[in-house]
Every structure is written in structure tokens, then in C-alpha cells.
Structure 1
């Protein structure tokens, strides 16, 4: 008799996304930091998560809150320096929590020594070959090399002043001008990334979430694109800026390094919606996991939720990889607001939390999701996301989902910081949403998440898929391989639950039936 292979730790893990600026401020400067995460590891341990994903904490001018990396192998003093990360890794491992970091391979900061050297060296230099510098078109090179827009708004090209003071070449930046894209055809770029990967893995980091994992490789000749349907912060499957075949060679190179650290994991941010294309990223020699964002894009509707689940499972099955699920992150509107806001939005978000945690594969919970936080309507003068300025002040950007977490107390800053001057203002009405307040309430959203994650861990192996069961219109019912059924009612009238023991419900039952905007697990 042979033993069945043990699944990797990450295959059905619950990851908790820490947006470090907003988790907890440990030094009183109004900005969250890594020592703040250490201080509240008990919250994550009590929640029952298996791993942390840290948004960028490397050295950065913070034009895009850390996604503009000036030194990928050091921690910014804002977050406490390298020693603070070492303390976090040690403390998290001591309570059984893995630590993964954000990796940003598509671009650097414009303050990165490489880019500064490229500006100083001039056209045709080896330094410029590390980025995508091109001559302009038209008389005197007055027009950009192509018509590509930036994901953040405005053109994707910025013209530089050459060392002699003349108008010069343009450089490509798919995001902010302070985030120049790297030239992945230059072997120096991968050599440097390998140093970064090994630096962190050798310090005990357990893997990486890879930013813009469908980016990096650019099409030959950088052709013009159709601008129809181009939207800020998003790309489509026919967008030449992304999902070019050469990107898979880059991921194979990354995987070749990760294979020297067999317990480590890579998770790709993959905004690709064709299943066959998506599955390519999860081949055995590429990424371990990949975010499929269809559940984020689904409305609170039984048919849409089912289609999103079916699609995500099919894409993962094509690759022989576990599915990866999430409802929110630092780039999208919080689900309470996305589902309509107020009590109805919260009820739907609680129901979807049970759907999320019932699914096989890896699950990501964004900090504050476990508290039922909504998006915050912030005044114009505090907005910091570069999207706000780049869009000509027409797109408010992502700051509303990044407001700091409320921990305790009756007024801002709710023990997030000892300073009242926090990096984004907190709403006064969050008194009942603090961790301390919810810990006193057995029916709170925090209590729901803790119980659901505990039950999830007690279910053992989930298997690769789910069985969808017959259900009335506006009701979705699916059963895991362990016999636990998740039912969610997206309609307007109560519905009967299948026979069995009720394990958990997102709201009280209505005379034994599942109310609208509610989900439950039954064994």
C-alpha cells in the first residue's frame, strides 16, 4: 500500500492580505508598519489564517504606495526597515503563519538606480537597454512611439530631456510615469530578479504574489492598439500590452528559482479571461497559483455566482492547479459597497464570505473584509492614488478601499495609531465595526469569519471540485466532496435548506428556512 501524496500547504490555504499602511501603526507616525502587524498577529491567529500576503514594503518613493520599487532587496524605513520584516517572519512562523511578499517584476521606480543611470547615459546606451526607451514619431519625434494609454490614465509614454538638454526619447510606463517598464528581453533584468527572489527566500519568506503577472513581455514592434473599450485599471484579452506569449518564459525562469525552495509558492495576478490562456500560467513549470477574478466581477446573483465558480474551476482544472478565490483586494471596491452598501450590502457580503470559504482551493481575505468594512467616500483633498490625477480627476481611484482598520475605541483613529493624523481619514461611524466591538458580539462579521475558517480547516481535503445541486431560481446550492453543502439565497423570499445539520449561517434562519441575502452550510 502506498501513501497518497500530501498536498502542498498552499493548495487549500486561507491567505490574509495585509495592506501594511492600513493594518496597524506601530510607531505613531500615522502610517501602518510591520511592527504593527507583529503587534496584532493574535488577530490573524485567532482568525485562523494560514498565511499572510504583504503588499509591497520594499524601498520606494511611494508614488504608487510601494508598487514603484527603488530597491527590491530592502524594506522601506516607513515600514520599519529590514529588521522589522525579520521580526514579522519569525513571529508569524512561531504561530504557524506563513509570510508571502509582493513581487513587482514589470517595472521599477523612476528613482531606481538603473533608471537614473539610463537617463544620464543617453540614447543607445547599455543602461537604456534595461528599459523600453524609443524614439518618437513625427517631425522632431514630437509624437509618442505608439498610441498606448496608461492603465492609470493618460499616455503610456513620457518624453525625457536628454543629458545635453534637448527633447529626447520616450520611455514606456504601463502605469504611472514614475513606474518605467523593464525590458524583459535584456538578460540583466532576470539576473537581478533572481537575486531578489533568493534574497527573500533565504531570509525565510514563504513565497510571492506576483504583480501584473500577465505583463512584463511586450509584443514585437510595440504595435498600436485598439482604444475601444479601454478602461482605467483594466485590460481586455485582445490588449497587446499584456498576455504576450513570451511572458511564460519569464515565469519558467522564476519557477526554476522557486524549485530550489520547494515549500515556497508563487501566486500570479492574472487579468486574463480566456480559460485556455489563463491555464497556461499555471503549467507545472510556471506559477503555483493564479488569481482568477471572475468571482470579484460577479453580481450577487445565483446564476452569475455559479458561472464564476464553474469558470474558475474549469480554468484551474485545465492546468491541474488548485483554484484561487477572492472577493476583494486593494485594487477593487470593497464587496459591502459593491453589493449595494448599507445593511443589504453587508448581508450579501456575509453570505458571499460563506460561499468563498466553502470553495476548494486557496482563499484570500483582504484586511478589513473580516470586519465587514465598506468603501469610504473620501474628500478630494486627501486622495493619494495616482489614478485620481492621471485620470484628470475623473476617476477617484482606490483609496476608498484602503482606509486603515479600526481596532478599538469610540472615535478615530480607533487604536489604529496613537496619532490622530493618519494617512487616510477614518469614518466616525465605524465605532461598531472595530475588532474590539465585534469580539463582544457573537453575531458579528468577525465571529462569522472565525467560525467559518475554523469549520473550513476541520473539513479536511476538499477535493478538486464541487457538485452543483438542483435549487429554486435565485438560489445556488453546491456540495463539496466531504458532503458539506453551501446554499446561498440571492432572491427575495426564504428558501428551504437541504436536510442535515446546520453548521453555520450568515444570518438567523426564518422559521427554519434560509432568508434572502443569506448563505448557510449544511452537513
Structure 2
């Protein structure tokens, strides 16, 4: 199979409406210097692989100066690169090469909180209660006779109280780890600082931002109690994410921030964009983050949460497409990311999970809108479930016993021994160990192999970019089908592409949709049609 080479970047301001974005977890993608940790130079060296895979853009997780308490989501300097990952010069060289290959770069921005090592927070700790330095964060007096109780009942997303007391008796808010103090976004200095940070990276050519905890910057006035927490009821407040209102998430004032950010993005050429990691209690509230005066996209996590059934997928797809019509923005489809268990494992693990994951990829890539891939899913990587506890680094693991490290294991590139070409020749270091079974899943083991997951992704992405029926962001037409089947059509200018997914428990004979273009499992011709196996998907073409 030949894969077409994308042309260098165009000035298309709407590129993000139908882009395929590949998430790079920087620490686990490619190690250029043999220290066992992925870095920017490693990404730069692997750019041709990503170009040939067929992605339009890369989303890089944080690479800024950080103590790495939470994998870089605790930022100490928003305008520099942590030495673990390289230098600012390395970033500039990487983005230059990426653009030359026709690949855009989206970077993570973490505005809800800083690192406790950030100069602002160090100054706040050294200053007195009520000082200007403390006003940049959320400090409060405690409850109880001597202020020995937290100011309210808020919980950290990572488990435990969301407040930590400092020696002078005040408490500071951290909705995540104590090393991640929340900023006070009602403070004009905070707003001005992040507007400058945006310009700093836009001036260096970044094409967009993924906004971490985009729903979290504004807290309800008066810091009111939620009314329950895991200590009082055994029910964690985080269970309300995406299902109910919390006084520290999705407050109306957060939209003022994005209305100030949008003109900054629009002032740069080439379609600079922003996508929100946002949770809201209703689709209508989530849709408020998107629009011509706010953000370009918000992740639709419902697709990631869909179960392996035709009914579940269809409900999620219908809802997402209806929302996109309302706001005039494309949907965003996600199957895995750095915070969630890999979908091979979610769908059943082993052979069953891999079959379903391959089929789900064809389903996602046939849908209109923007698709986000997580590094390694094109190799069919499963979650690593048996990491030794002493090697886990997720701060949530220490507080709740839950760990995201299993989806962050460095991806395999080549060779028979771990870490499978993650570093330079002869390097044996890797910050998390890869299992022995991954030797068969490496890039080298799958490249050019008919039927491999890597070649399936390459084929699907090539077709997605070149087939006229998949052009644009118009909706889909559902087709009548047997129970357990999903079937929909996309057509543009007379070209028709039909996607069929079999989530049932028996093979199904498919006829009348034209010739197969790509299938997640081998099809069998029968009675003039094609037999679609269980847990499989296929694209048909009719012109």
C-alpha cells in the first residue's frame, strides 16, 4: 500500500473542523538521549512516521518546566521547556520540521492551577494572609474553633480534601494534588498573565491549545459546600462530573475568560484554535463553550464512554451531531487518552478487545468532524494492568488506589527486547516497563504487514483524506439494519461511502452498498454480498 504524503501547511483557517489529531504523551513517545524519558527531539525524529500515518496535527501534553508531580500538569514556568524534555530551541526546531511536513502542533495549557513550585505560589507562602501575593490563589480561613477544619467540604479529584493548611493557619485550594494550587481567576493579574502566555506560544507558531480543566477556573462566590463527600456518605464528588453541578466547576463566569481569549487566537493567521477539556451537567451547558466568540471545540467524552453496542453508539452519535448543529462547530470523537483506560482493554481486552477496538476506529474515522487519536492506539496497544505499585507515578494512585499509568507506558517502536526501540540503539531505560507481549505490536513488527492494526489505520486515514464522500462536516444518514448493526451513509457530490459495524453475536451478510474499501477484519464473499464478522466494521464505496 502507498500512503500519500500531505503537502506542507496551507492557510486553511477551518483545518480543525475535520482534522485527525494525534495525542503525544511526550514522556512516553520517543526518547532521543537514552535517559528513559521521551522528549521533544524524540518527537522531531519521529515526525515522518506521523506524517506517513496520515494525521493532520499533534497535541502535545505539557512539556513545560515542572517538578512532574502530575506528569507535567503542575507547571512551574509556562514559558520554558523542562530540561527533561529538552530546550525551547528544541521545541522551535520541532515545530519548524512539523510544519514543513504539513503537520500542525497543538499544545496543552494548564490554567486552572500552577505548580506549588511556581514563583507566584512560593511568594504567596512567604507572604502574610490578605497579601497581594496570596490574592492570586484561593486562600481561606478554616472552620472550627481554631480554624483547624477545611473551609468547606470540597474534595480533590484525586481523592481526599481539596484543601491544605499552611503554617500560619490559612488553607489553600487544590482541586487536584496539593502540589497543584488553584489560581484565583477573578484576579486581573492572573487573566493578564495567561493572555500573555497564549501569545508567547502563538508567536512560536503553535496552531492551537488544548485547555486542561477548561470548566474549572471560576469557583462559586462564597465557596459554598457541595453537601456531601466521600467522608460523610462514601460517595465521591467527582462522580458528578458530567452529571450534576458542582460549585467549583462550570460556573457561568468561566465564559468571560474564553471571550477574552478568542480575539487573541483570531489575531493570528492560519486558523489558530482551542479545544476544551470540559465537563458539564447537560449537553446544552457543554455547548456554551463553543462558538464564534469562545472556543472552537470541546471534547465529547460520551463517545469514549459508549459501551460496545449499536444502541449505545447510535445514541451518543445522534446527540453529538445534534449539538454540533446547534453551535455550528464540529464534533470531536475520542476513543482513548492519557487519563482513561485504553479502549482495547475497555472493550474486553485480548483478541476480543482488539477486534472491537479496530472496528471502533473505522466507526470513528467515518464520522464527520474532528477525530483525536491517542498514541499507540494505531498499534492496538492494550492497557498495562500489572505495573508494579512502586513504579506507578500517578498522584491519584497514592490517594485513591486508582492509576492512569497503565495507558502511559512508552510505546514500542522496534526490536525483540523492552523498551522496544523507545530510546536510541542500545538504550535499555524506560520510565515505565513495557510488557513482553508488546514486541509483536511494535511499529516495525506491523509496518507493511497486511491486516495489521497499523496498516488498518494508515489505510483508513488515507481514505478519509482523499475520498470525496468524507469531505466536509455534513451529517450522516442512518440506514435500516439488523439489530446489533450500525449502518450509516455519507455522500458528497455523488460519491457515497457507507460504514457498517457489527456489534452483534453472529456474522451478517451485507449487500447493496457497493465495493468494500477497508475492513477491520477479513470479509467473505457470499451470495453476491459480503459476510461481515462479529466485532468488525467495513467501509463500502458507491460512486
| Shorter-chain TM-score range | over 0.9
Q: Does 1:472 align with 2:482?
A: yes
2:285 matched residue in structure 1: 277
1:87 matched residue in structure 2: 93
**In 2: Cα distance, 1:227 partner to 1:22 partner:** 38
**In 2: Cα distance, 1:105 partner to 1:233 partner:** 23
2:433 matched residue in structure 1: 425
2:216 matched residue in structure 1: 215
Q: What is the alpha-carbon root mean square deviation over aligned residues?
A: 1.4
Worse overlay, 253-262 or 23-32: 253-262
1:187 matched residue in structure 2: 188
Say if 1:313 and 1:465, in contact at 8 Å, map to a contact too: yes
Task: Decide which of 248, 253, 258 is 1:251's aligned counterpart.
Answer: 258
Q: Does 1:442 align with 2:450?
A: yes
Say if 2:245 and 2:280, in contact at 8 Å, map to a contact too: no
2:267 matched residue in structure 1: 260
Mapping for residues 37-52 of structure 1, pairs under 5 Å: 37-52=43-58
- Measured after TM superposition, the shift of residue 234 of structure 1 is 6.9
| Partner SS, residue 496 of structure 1 | strand
1:165 matched residue in structure 2: none
Q: Does 1:70 align with 2:76?
A: yes
TM-score, with structure 1 as normaliser: 0.96
* Unpaired runs of at least 5, structure 1: 163-167
TM-score, with structure 2 as normaliser: 0.92
- Measured after TM superposition, the shift of residue 6 of structure 1 is 6.8
Worse overlay, 410-419 or 367-376: 410-419
2:540 matched residue in structure 1: 522
Q: Does 1:309 align with 2:317?
A: yes
- Measured after TM superposition, the shift of residue 464 of structure 1 is 2.6
1:32 matched residue in structure 2: 38
Cα 1:31–1:232 change in 2 (3 A) is farther
1:298 matched residue in structure 2: 306
**In 2: Cα distance, 1:37 partner to 1:215 partner:** 30
Say if 1:278 and 1:315, in contact at 8 Å, map to a contact too: no
**In 2: Cα distance, 1:36 partner to 1:227 partner:** 46
Q: Does 1:506 align with 2:520?
A: yes
Say if 2:245 and 2:281, in contact at 8 Å, map to a contact too: no
| Partner SS, residue 501 of structure 2 | strand
Mapping for residues 398-417 of structure 1, pairs under 5 Å: 398-417=404-423
**In 1: Cα distance, 2:220 partner to 2:467 partner:** 46
Query: How many pairs align?
Result: 511
Say if 1:322 and 1:464, in contact at 8 Å, map to a contact too: no
2:245 matched residue in structure 1: 238
2:331 matched residue in structure 1: 323
- Measured after TM superposition, the shift of residue 496 of structure 1 is 2.4
Task: Decide which of 383, 391, 394 is 2:392's aligned counterpart.
Answer: 383
Say if 1:132 and 1:171, in contact at 8 Å, map to a contact too: yes
1:490 matched residue in structure 2: 503
- Measured after TM superposition, the shift of residue 498 of structure 1 is 4.0
**In 2: Cα distance, 1:131 partner to 1:151 partner:** 18
**In 2: Cα distance, 1:366 partner to 1:356 partner:** 13
Say if 1:136 and 1:142, in contact at 8 Å, map to a contact too: yes
- Measured after TM superposition, the shift of residue 293 of structure 1 is 0.5
- Measured after TM superposition, the shift of residue 283 of structure 1 is 2.0
- Measured after TM superposition, the shift of residue 123 of structure 1 is 0.2
| Partner SS, residue 61 of structure 1 | coil
Say if 2:66 and 2:75, in contact at 8 Å, map to a contact too: yes
**In 1: Cα distance, 2:129 partner to 2:65 partner:** 28
| Partner SS, residue 254 of structure 1 | helix
- Measured after TM superposition, the shift of residue 462 of structure 1 is 3.1
Deviations 1:478-498 (A, max 9, x none): 111332111100001111224
Mapping for residues 197-208 of structure 1, pairs under 5 Å: 197-208=198-209
- Measured after TM superposition, the shift of residue 230 of structure 1 is 2.9
